[in-house]
Structure 1
């Protein structure tokens, strides 16, 4: 196991307790390997070998993130995700799968997954990607990030709260990360490739509609019933700027 936890900052929950992660995979050896690696990070980890157990464990354990295999013996990981998100719509999920085509990656992400690792994978990659998801959802090493302000839109990186015109906006982990990237670059046109690299760490070669999909999600929450702040620049990308 090549995970070097000692060289990385400790991630904790906002209440100071260890991060909770649920690992779901029908291969016992693989589930145990990932579980041990995450426990080496100092995290509180539980595992499940099928979908039904995963859903039941999540309800009891209330994880901060889920490592989820797509192929399970009872129902697939996409159905597990649907059930988990019905109870916690911002729960970050890292998919594991033997499928490595672009179409399969898109299917997992458009279903609501926040990241994707294909088998065979290194445990180190799983840990690093999961740490990135944890930082997105407010489990951070420090509490020093600033509040971002663009027009009447504010984003607090400490509390994960977003408001426009004083009205609170609830975002999923990926929506939050996308909006943060846009707000850190106000009035700057960001290409689809830049957004994919920053938010998803993937290069889909222009074959994915994942950026367009999440931009539409953001517009429904940020711009709905208001003067638009998120604009499409045809052939160039997207830009966020103050309304008016």
Structure 2
């Protein structure tokens, strides 16, 4: 086998489809792993580092769109091919705008599927960053984001509150990106856990609350009366600024 054998992660909960795709892709010379739910997909993506992801939308644990959003918070370059029974134009547009690179509806032609996979893998110099919301330019595509007296460098992981320097963790960066992309839109604790941490159950919402406390400490003049990271009663949190 070639040392540069490409890795493909197939995220599909229907076993016969997943196994069929694995066999077909393996015969084409690819290395293939299967994830049968969204949580397993997020874990394999991080631990196995695939070159391409084939992603179903209707998944248990975490749905495919949430998986896609979570991946795009950290990686804008990995090709993602959505393979879904939801083939309406509205669904296709939604998938593409959330960051997928191609969309193929079930049932599909195997030869067409393999051609699309090869086309995506051949694309080099992947630089196009897609917005996660309709019509929006990625607000941090140059790596820098500013609000009020705050400045965040997503590339270096450094931030400034006025002259005070702050070193951010990768999880803090990921959560801030999620808020920035959804500026002005309330996000529930469950949604923040689902997209920001890759969990939909079994994890305390206090995890989110503790992170918000830290972000307020970093970026608010008065953490007890936040101007940017605000609470929404019975909903969760919202990030706002002019």
Q: SS of 2:78's equivalent?
A: coil
Offset, 1:172:
3.3
User: What RMSD over aligned residues (CA atoms) do the two structures have, in Å?
Assistant: 2.8
1:118 — aligned with what?
105
Query: Where do residues 26-175 of structure 1 align in structure 2 (5 Å cutoff)?
Result: 26-136=13-123, 138=124, 160=125, 171-172=127-128
Deviation at 1:75, TM superposition (A): 1.7
Deviation of the 1:50 alpha carbon: 0.2
Distance 1:56 1:131 in 2: 24
Say whether the 8 Å CA contact 1:91–1:173 is kept in structure 2. Answer: no
Q: List alignment gaps of at least 5 residues for structure 2.
A: 143-242
Q: Does the CA-based 8 Å contact 1:114-1:174 persist in structure 2?
A: no
* Other structure's SS at 2:34 match: strand
TM-score (structure 1 length as normaliser): 0.52
How far residue 174 of structure 1 moved from its aligned partner, in angstroms, is 7.4
TM-score norm. by structure 2 comes to 0.52
User: Does the CA-based 8 Å contact 1:67-1:95 persist in structure 2?
Assistant: yes
Q: What is the number of residues matched between the two proteins?
A: 140
Contact 1:92 1:114 in 2 (8 A): yes
- Contact residue 76 and residue 129 of structure 2 kept, 8 A: no
Q: Which structure: larger Rg? A: 2
Q: Which residue of 2 aligns with 1:145?
A: none
Which aligned segments of 4 or more residues in structure 1 are displaced greater than 4 angstroms?
Answer: none
